[in-house]
Each structure stands twice: as structure tokens, then as C-alpha cells.
Amino acid sequence: MREWFGLVARLVTGGVWIVAGALKLPDPYESVRAVRAYDLLPESIVPTVGHLLPVLEVVVGLALVLGVLTRGAAAVSALLFLAFIIGIASAWARGLQIDCGCFGGGGFEEGAASQYPWEIARDVGLLALSLLLVWSRSTRLALDSALFRRTTSTSTTREA
């Protein structure tokens, strides 16, 4: 049963990453604007983060959905969700009114703070699923099980 729950966790979390990244890929400058709106990173790295983040999201999502390098992808997923939770909480604490940019968009948005509790709760749930995958040995229908089969070897010892 636990392996089936792991499959659901992989598909949900991976699906969210694929959608989030894919929606940002067509307009990388919007993604840069979203990163800039948080006012947390030095301006010199904002464009790089804004351009690479959607690609990373899609790659992590595909790895999770396919079950390839699942534990590593889940660890990256967990770190990203933790960073997003901190970013949204920081924006909220500083009184910023910005679209989280989670699924495209970004920048100033009137009344955006009313969405912060929901966005944080969503990301905490997805963080929990990611951590579950980090600690899971295996999940159903994962390519990991086909690519990295565990073999047990039996050795015989000869006495001289």
C-alpha cells in the first residue's frame, strides 16, 4: 500500500512541477519579474534564477512522474518548496503585495496577501509529499526499479 501512496505522491508533486515550469517557459522575462518581486536575491543573479527555475521545475517534475532518480528529485523538490514557503512568508511579513509567480505571472498584485496562507499551505503539503518520497525506498511504476535493480549475490567460500 505504501508503494501505491508513493506513486500518487510522485504523480501529484511531479505534475505540479511540470505545470508550473511549463507555464513559465514561454515567457522567461515574466519569471524573472516574479523572482525580482520577492526582493530577496542580489540583482546580479535574479535573471539567471528567473530563467533557470522553470527548466529546473520541469526536469524535477519529469523525474518524479517517471520515477527516475526519485529520491534525488524529491530532495530537490523539497528544497524548492522550502525556499518558496520562506519566500512567500517573507513577502507576507514585509507587507508585499505580489503574485507568487508559482504558475506564471509575478510582480505587484493588489490584494495578493490574501492568497499567501493558501499558497503556503499548498506548498507545505507538497513539501510533505516530497519528503515522503525522499524517505521511501521505492514506489510503484517507477523506472528506478527497472534501471537500478538490486541484486543479491551469493558467494561461496572455498576452504583450502
Residues 109-152: tens digit of each pLDDT: 999 999 999 999 999 999 999 999 999 878 988 888 877 776 55
For 70, what's the count of Cα atoms within 13 Å in the CB-facing half-sphere?
A: 31
Q: Is residue 69 part of a domain?
A: yes
More confident residue, 108 or 36: 36
Q: How far apart are CA 134 and CA 74, in angstroms?
A: 6
pTM (predicted TM-score): 0.88
* Average pLDDT of the segment spanning 82-92: 98
In a domain, 59, yes or no: yes
- In-domain check, residue 137: yes
Q: Is residue 153 part of a domain?
A: no
Q: State residue 61's pLDDT score.
A: 98
Residue 43: what pLDDT? 98
Summarize the confidence of residues 22-28 as an average pLDDT. 96
Domain range for 71: 2-143
Quote the distance between the C-alpha of residue 4 and its chain's center: 20
Distance CA 72, CA 3 (A): 17
What is the domain count for the chain? 1
- Quick check: 33 pLDDT over 80? yes
Indicate whether 24 belongs to any domain. Answer: yes
